[in-house]
């Protein structure tokens, strides 16, 4: 008998899985926050697409608008850093409840 993942019991519906994505999402939010990667990891597709679109559009059009449009990517990066800090300061239980069960999209 092996004790691999195929023999380990799955989490019952409504129960928190064994490992939380809190640290991974927090680090991704701080490092790649402007791209919205942490939103995609949490299953929040629409906010992830918004962050990615604003960052890419601002980066592409920045030279054409004398870098005025670079304001968008900067804001998305700051939002990512703030969200990363918030994720890392939550307990696993709080993070799971707020971001994985209730699917809170912003902050």
Dist. CA 35–CA 14, nearest whole Å: 30
Grade residue 8 by pLDDT with cuts at 50, 70 and 90. very low
Grade residue 1 by pLDDT with cuts at 50, 70 and 90. very low
61 against 24, higher pLDDT = 24
pLDDT per position as a tens digit, 37-92: 999 999 999 999 999 999 999 888 877 777 777 888 999 999 999 999 999 999 99
Do residues 26 and 87 touch, judged by C-beta distance below 8 A?
Answer: yes
Domain interval for residue 41: 22-101
Q: How many structural domains is the chain composed of?
A: 1
Q: Does residue 6 lie in a domain region?
A: no
Q: Exposure of 103 by Cβ count < 10 A (0-12 exposed, 13-18 middle, 19+ buried)?
A: exposed
Q: Does residue 1 lie in a domain region?
A: no
CA 69 to chain CA centroid, nearest Å: 23
Q: Does residue 87 lie in a domain region?
A: yes
Q: Does residue 73 lie in a domain region?
A: yes
Q: Which of 5-19, 24-38, 64-78, 87-101 shows the lowest per-residue confidence on average (mean pLDDT)?
A: 5-19
Distances (CA, A) of 81 to 58, 59, 67, 71: 18, 18, 22, 15
Grade residue 14 by pLDDT with cuts at 50, 70 and 90. low
Q: Does residue 7 lie in a domain region?
A: no
Q: Does residue 60 lie in a domain region?
A: yes
Q: What is the DSSP code (8-state) at residue 62?
A: T
Q: Does residue 13 lie in a domain region?
A: no
Count CB neighbours of 16 within 10 A.
Answer: 14
Q: Does residue 68 lie in a domain region?
A: yes
């Amino acid at each position: 008998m092996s004790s691999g993942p195929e023999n380990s019991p799955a989490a019952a519906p409504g129960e928190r899985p064994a490992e939380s994505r809190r640290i991974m999402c927090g680090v991704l939010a701080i490092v790649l926050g402007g791209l919205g990667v942490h939103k995609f990891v949490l299953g929040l597709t629409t906010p992830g697409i918004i962050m990615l679109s604003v960052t890419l559009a601002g980066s592409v059009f920045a030279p054409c608008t004398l870098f005025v449009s670079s304001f968008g990517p900067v804001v998305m990066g700051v939002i990512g850093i703030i969200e990363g800090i918030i994720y890392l300061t939550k307990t696993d239980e709080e993070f799971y409840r707020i971001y994985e069960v209730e699917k809170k999209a912003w902050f």
